[in-house]
Amino acid sequence: MAGLFDSYKLRDVTFKNRIGVSPMCMYSANDGLPTEWHHAHYGSLALGGAGLIITEATAIEPRGRITPLDCGMWSEDQAEAWKSIVEFMKSQGVVPGIQLAHAGRKASCKPPGEGGKAMSTDEGGWETIAPSPIPFFDTDPVPRSINDEDLDQLLGAWVSAAKRVAAAGFEVLELHMAHGYLCHQFLSPLSNKREDCFGGSFENRTRFLISMAREVREVFPENKPLFVRISCTDWVDGGWDIDQSIQFVKELSEVGVDLVDCSSAGSVPYANVKVKPGYQVPFAEKIRHDTGIPTAAVGLITEPSQAEEILHNNQADIVLFAREMLRNPRWAIQAAKELKVDIALPAQYLRAFT
Ligand SMILES: Cc1cc2nc3c(=O)[nH]c(=O)nc-3n(C[C@H](O)[C@H](O)[C@H](O)COP(=O)(O)O)c2cc1C
């Protein structure tokens, strides 16, 4: 029976505990480069006792950014700029992870602080692309349908970004296939209405993503784990659902994906999401049970005893925390105290916790 503070190993990477910081966009980059904000933010989280930090959705190409302030991984400079942040995480015994993403039809928006609305090209936005020319909100600009040339370019961009992630020193790579962004737009019949070999049947809707994951796995170091975040359900009848997720995860596992991070929703604005504490944990549990693939649980998990129970009940292998880590970056240290587990603390902070 695993506990929150038991170590965990995937490939050659050992996590000192089962607590992870979930990826969270900071909308604070400059030309895709991390800034002082990222040094302070991830530095602070690295001191808080978590075993893993997955840094924010980072775009594989400029048109894949949600906003102009997103981080990117389309240039060598961007990889280089992460190195000192990554090194600091490692110096604190934290496994550094990163999430690679493409926003597809959800790209070209104002940052949340400025309202978050889709921007037309006149407002400083850019042309968005998607499996089908259907906007997320009816009032958004219509995305251009992805053609064969785009697919080749996208595949190349995912692979090059994965190589840069490894060069920057990250030890976990997570592919963002959730929350209604480009990959999820292929998966969900609500956003994918293609009539070629990338739309229609389950096999067609998953085709591009399986080849992408396979090619990324081939270039990402063999001794480092590859995660995929999926939305296990659209929460809409006729949409992507848990049964399709299970089948998809089995296929992801065959191409070398090591862990599935189980989130939900995001493909359409009208979904009826039943939010409550731990509301996505049953998805992590079912996928783990039905596929044998390790999972991460996430979503309204805030209490140490709640997180420990998820592990004790074999519902997931690691637990991720997002908003709770923004409220309290030392959450893991406090959880150890509450659960009466001795953990190593930064010497500089000892007087606060003894
Ligand atoms: C500020 C903020 C930014 C987020 N950015 C991302 C992101 O970049 N990628 C992602 O997959 N999820 C993102 N999320 C979702 C979180 O990773 C997490 O799945 C969600 O907040 C539920 O977990 P929580 O209840 O612990 O906050 C974000 C959430 C917040 C609050």
Whole-number Cα distances in Å, 167 to 68, 73, 186, 274, 276: 24, 11, 29, 40, 39
**Residue 135's pLDDT band (cuts 50, 70, 90):** very high
Q: How many CB atoms lie within 10 A of CB 348?
A: 8
Task: Write down the residue that tokens 């089908």 correspond to.
Answer: 132
Q: From the alpha carbon of 57, which atom of ligand 1 is closest?
A: 8
Tell me how far apart the alpha carbons of residues 266 and 293 are, in angstroms, rounded to a whole number. Answer: 23
36, two tokens? 């002082």
Q: What is the pLDDT of residues 209-262, one digit of tens each?
A: 999 999 999 999 999 999 999 999 999 999 999 999 999 999 999 999 999 999
- What does the H/E/C string look like for 55-80? EEEEECCHHHCCCCCCEECCCHHHHH
For the chain, the domain total comes to 1
Burial class (CB in 10 A: 0-12, 13-18, 19+), 277: exposed
Which of ligand 1's atoms lies nearest the C-alpha of 174? 11
The identity of residue 270, as a single letter, is Y
Cβ-proximal residues to 163 (8 Å cutoff; 6+ apart), any chain: 219, 220
Within a domain: 2: no
Give the domain range for residue 169.
8-353
Alpha helix stretches (DSSP H) within the chain: 36-46, 76-91, 148-167, 182-187, 202-219, 242-254, 281-291, 304-312, 323-327, 331-338, 350-353
Tens digits of residue pLDDT in 28-38: 999 999 999 99
Confirm whether 72 is domain-assigned: yes
Return the amino acid letter for 54: I
319 assigned to some structural domain:
yes
Q: Would 1 be classed as within a structural domain?
A: no
Output DSSP code: residue 33: B
Summarize pLDDT for 328-346 with one digit per residue, the tens: 999 999 999 999 999 999 9
User: Which residue ranges have their beta carbon within 6 Å of ligand 1?
Assistant: 22-25, 56-57, 99, 176, 178-179, 229, 263, 298-301, 321-324
Compute, in angstroms, the gap from residue 179 CA to the centroid of ligand 1: 10
Instruction: Tell which one of 21, 25, 99 to mutate to probe ligand 1, the residue whose CB is within 8 A of the most ligand atoms.
Output: 25
Distance 309 CA to ligand 1 centre (A): 22
Reading the block at residue 318, the tokens are 């690691």
Report in angstroms the alpha-carbon separations of 117 from 176, 179, 304: 21, 17, 36
- pLDDT band at residue 354 using 50, 70 and 90 as cut-offs: confident
Distances (CA, A) of 102 to 53, 54, 56, 117, 238: 20, 16, 12, 17, 24
Catalytic residue among 27, 42, 181, 349: 181
**Does residue 314 sit within a domain?**
yes
Which position has the token pair 């050659």?
Answer: 12
181 is catalytic: yes
Tokens of 170: 């990250």
Contact between residue 227 and residue 257 where contact means Cβ atoms under 8 Å apart: yes
pLDDT tier for residue 80 given thresholds of 50, 70 and 90? very high
pLDDT on residue 55: 98
**Is the per-residue pLDDT at 12 higher than 90?**
yes
Alpha carbons 319 and 298: distance in angstroms, whole number: 6
Give the Cα separation of 93 and 1 in Å (integer).
23
Q: What is the CATH number of the domain that holds 28?
A: 3.20.20.70
Q: Which atom of ligand 1 is nearest to the CA of 324?
A: 26
Both tokens assigned to 23: 């990826």
pLDDT in tens, 226-239: 999 999 999 999 99
Report the C-alpha gap between 156 and 160 in whole angstroms: 6
Q: How far is the CA of 108 from the centre of ligand 1 (A)?
A: 19
User: DSSP state, 2?
Assistant: -
